[in-house]
Amino acid sequence: MSGILVIGGYGAVGAQVSTTLDGWFPGQVIAAGRNPDGARLPDTVRRARLDLADIGGLERLLDLDPIAAVVLCVEPADATVAETCLSRGIHLVDVGASDHLLRQVEDLADRATVSGATGVLSVGLAPGLTNLLARRVHERVGGAQRIDITVLLGAGEQHGADAVAWTVSRLAQPAGARPRRYAMPGHGRRIAYPLDFSDQHSLRRTLGVPRVTTRMCLDSAFSTRLLAGLRRLAVFRVNRRPALRRLITAALSRVHIGGNGFAVRVDAVNSDRHAALALTGNGQSRATALVAAHVTRTVLAGTLPTGVHHIDQLPALAGIPEQLAAHGILPHTMPG
């Protein structure tokens, strides 16, 4: 088998993707990023230095080794990385969570089909598992008029710098919807606030649901209220003061009040019909990595159609939540 290139392979998600895939495909995984010495990886994982700002560096890396699939664990500036991979017939698994970037990759569907490549988007916890649960509850109510996604994250988990920066950038945006209170398994009833996850946009396209909203809270109620208050005060809207944005991001990276448990819940409503499903586990980064690894393994099996698809559009990936039960990520059927 040709190699698997994990871009961002030294980060909080990428290192776990590299390690998991190495367990299935020993000696075939190449972890690439700006800091090859920045993570503990199995000795059988090869390391490469790569800066996504240098697309020529990526092309040279792809020329050196026959690569079957690329797992993109960091968000690039645009779709150039995806275009480079898909044009060469290299499969792509994208862990990104920004809708404007995912739309750009969607536009490469014809190019991927011509080259025989498969691109899978919305891979991870949210988006990812939330998309798969959304399809299930959508079908249970006979076609949802509204889907509400609630994501509870552990405030005590050590997140990567890119993940924290992404969250800060979303907190800088207007809420766009009202907060809602839902019962989250293992955490009781919690109030969650709208945040611009990509699943609320892509699901409108893939499922045809007119109203989809994603909300987030932390396992620490105090931290949730604090972030919501700072957002109302527009503290995060510091686009003209990048130094302040960096200061806020650094502070959030160092403060860890809470645990590392997570819960996601997805509700679908169609007139008087309601269905809700949830998943719980430990370690958001770990969950995202496990989803990415399972998707990559399926992609490499050659059973998925060519082109570019979101995870919820591929029936072969519908069973991933059950596959993750062995890793302590457990399903819950919520009362209507």
Please tell me the predicted confidence (pLDDT) of residue 193.
Answer: 87
- Cα–Cα distances in angstroms (integers) from residue 261 to residues 155, 184, 285, in the given order: 9, 12, 11
Measure the CA–CA gap between 111 and 121, rounded to whole angstroms: 16
Please tell me the predicted confidence (pLDDT) of residue 33.
Answer: 92
Question: Do strands 330-334 and 261-270 pair parallel, antiparallel, or not at all (unpaired)?
Answer: unpaired
Residue identified by tokens 């899978």 is 120
**Which residues, given as ranges, of the chain have pLDDT below 50?**
none
pTM for the structure as a whole: 0.90
Please tell me the predicted confidence (pLDDT) of residue 158.
Answer: 59
Please tell me the predicted confidence (pLDDT) of residue 253.
Answer: 57
Please tell me the predicted confidence (pLDDT) of residue 136.
Answer: 98
Measure the CA–CA gap between 130 and 128, rounded to whole angstroms: 5
Q: Pick from 211, 203, 215, 214: which is nearest to 135 by CA? A: 203
Here the tokens at position 283 are 């370690």
